[in-house]
Amino acid sequence: MNNDFRHQFWKQQIQTSMIVCVGVMAAAMAMIWICTYDLDMAIRIRGVILAAGISGILAPLGSAYAIRQNSRHLSLHLQYERLANSDDLTGLANRRCFNRRGAARLASAGRSQTALLLVDIDWFKRVNDMHGHEAGDDVLCHVAQTLIHAAPDGALIARLGGEEFTIMCEISGPEELNRLAEKLRRATEATHIIYHGEVISVTISLGLAIARPGDTLSALLSRADKALYGAKDHGRNRFAVAA
C-alpha cells in the first residue's frame, strides 16, 4: 500500500513540476515578447531567449525545492501512519488497523470464502511469571514471526492485544482452513525460544470461523472467539471450528 502511495506521489510531483516549469518559461517568454513590442526584432528575440534561459534554470530549482519539502512531509505522514496502525512490539497491524482493514476485506469479499483465525498463546502468563516480561515480549515477537511465515500470502495478520493474534485470509473451503490452522499450530509447537540460556517452548490454540453472507467483522470475531474458548477448554494446543 505504501509503495503504491509513493509511486503515485512521485508521479504526481514530476508531472506537476513539468507543468510548472513549462508554464513559467512560457509566461516569461510571452511577457518579454509583449513588453518589447516597440523594440527591434533582434532585441526582442534575444530578450525572449534570455527569459527562457533564466526561467529554465530558476523554475526547476524552485520545483526541486518544493518536491524536497513535499517528500519530507510524505515521509512524516507515512511514519505517523505506521505508528498509528502498527503494534509497537511485533510490527504487526494493531487492533485499530485490523478493524478498519478487516471490515473492508469482508465487505469486498469475492467468490472465495473469507476465514478468520483467532490465535491465543497457551499459558502465556506462566512465561511472564517464570521468566519475566522481557521473555514474554520475546515470545510475542517469536509467535508473530511464526504466523507471518506460516500464513498464506496476502493474509491480514494483527495483534489484537496481550497474547491474542488474528489472521484473516481467503480460503477455498473448510478443508483448506483446517490445514492452515494445523500448519500454524505445528509451526509454533516445533520451535522454541532460548532466553538467557533457558528453553521456552510455546504452543497456541486457535478458534476458526468462516464468514457468512451478511456477516459483520464483530459477528465473525465473536464466533471465532467462542471456538477459541472451546479449543482451550479441550486442552489447548489445538484448534476448534465455530459452529
Could you tell me if 34 and 51 are in contact, meaning their C-beta atoms sit under 8 angstroms apart?
Answer: no
Q: Under 8 Å CB-to-CB from 199, ≥6 apart: which residues?
A: 192, 193
| pLDDT number for residue 51 | 85
What digits encode the pLDDT tens for the residues 182-200?
Answer: 999 999 999 889 998 899 9
Could you tell me if 135 and 195 are in contact, meaning their C-beta atoms sit under 8 angstroms apart?
Answer: yes
| pLDDT number for residue 171 | 93
Is it the case that residue 45 has pLDDT exceeding 80?
A: yes
The answer, as to whether pTM is greater than 0.85, is no
> What mean pLDDT do residues 195-216 have?
93
| pLDDT number for residue 141 | 96
Q: Which residue(s) pair with 207 in the sheet?
A: 118, 240
Could you tell me if 71 and 78 are in contact, meaning their C-beta atoms sit under 8 angstroms apart?
Answer: no
For the question of residue 163 being annotated catalytic, the response is yes
Query: Which among 81, 163, 175, 182 is annotated as catalytic?
Result: 163
Q: 233 pLDDT band (50/70/90 cuts)?
A: very high
> What mean pLDDT do residues 94-120 have?
90
For residues 190 and 123, give the distance between their C-alpha atoms in angstroms, rounded to a whole number: 17
For residue 43, give Cα distances in angstroms to 12, 32, 40, 48, 198: 38, 10, 5, 9, 87
Phi, psi of 38 (to 5 degrees): -95, 5
Q: Under 8 Å CB-to-CB from 18, ≥6 apart: which residues?
A: none
Which of 53-62, 108-117, 176-185 has the largest mean confidence? 176-185
Q: 61 pLDDT band (50/70/90 cuts)?
A: confident
Q: Across the chain, what does the average pLDDT equal?
A: 89
**Quick one: DSSP state of residue 215?**
-
| pLDDT number for residue 77 | 60
For residues 72 and 118, the model is more confident at 118
Of 37-41, 149-153, 210-214, least confident by mean pLDDT is 37-41
**Quick one: DSSP state of residue 203?**
-
| pLDDT number for residue 72 | 79
Grid cell of 4 as nine digits: 503504491
Q: Which residue(s) pair with 170 in the sheet?
A: 114
**Quick one: DSSP state of residue 152?**
P
| pLDDT number for residue 79 | 65
For residues 123 and 66, the model is more confident at 123
Percent above pLDDT 90 for the chain: 57
Is it the case that residue 82 has pLDDT exceeding 70?
A: no
